[in-house]
Amino acid sequence: MPSEKLLSDMMAYNEQLIKAGILLAGEGLQSSAKGKRVRFSGASRTVIDGPFAETKELVAGYWIWQVSSMEEAVEWLKRCPNPHDEETDIEIRQIFAPEDFVKK
């Protein structure tokens, strides 16, 4: 579990995102030990119980933001408290929109 200080800092950061009107959703995810994976191989499906030790990078949480550009998202993310005491990466990715699937 995160420290009380980190929880407090993240709550303050989320409040800034809400006040700016860009936060659409955001959740922390529980440990992969409580998760499952479903492996697809042709027509067969295999359920694999967590934890997923072989995974080097796990998603611990997410935000969904509505911003005008990738640059704006980067600027907001630079303000985020570091979620760990060590070097950390947070990835920014766009969500597909219906117009992304229309041939031009």
pTM of the model: 0.78
Q: What is the predicted pLDDT for the residue at 83? A: 82
> What range does the domain containing 49 cover?
4-84
The C-alpha angle 24, 10, 83, rounded to 5 degrees, equals: 110
Q: Which residue has the higher pLDDT, 88 or 22?
A: 22
Residue 95 lies in a domain: no
Q: What is the CATH number of the domain that holds 63?
A: 3.30.70.1060
77 occurs within a structural domain: yes
Q: Is residue 63 part of a domain?
A: yes
Task: State what percent of residues in the chain have pLDDT above 70.
Answer: 96
pLDDT in tens, 53-86: 766 667 888 999 999 999 999 999 999 998 887 8
Domain count for the chain: 1
Q: How high is the pLDDT of residue 1?
A: 73
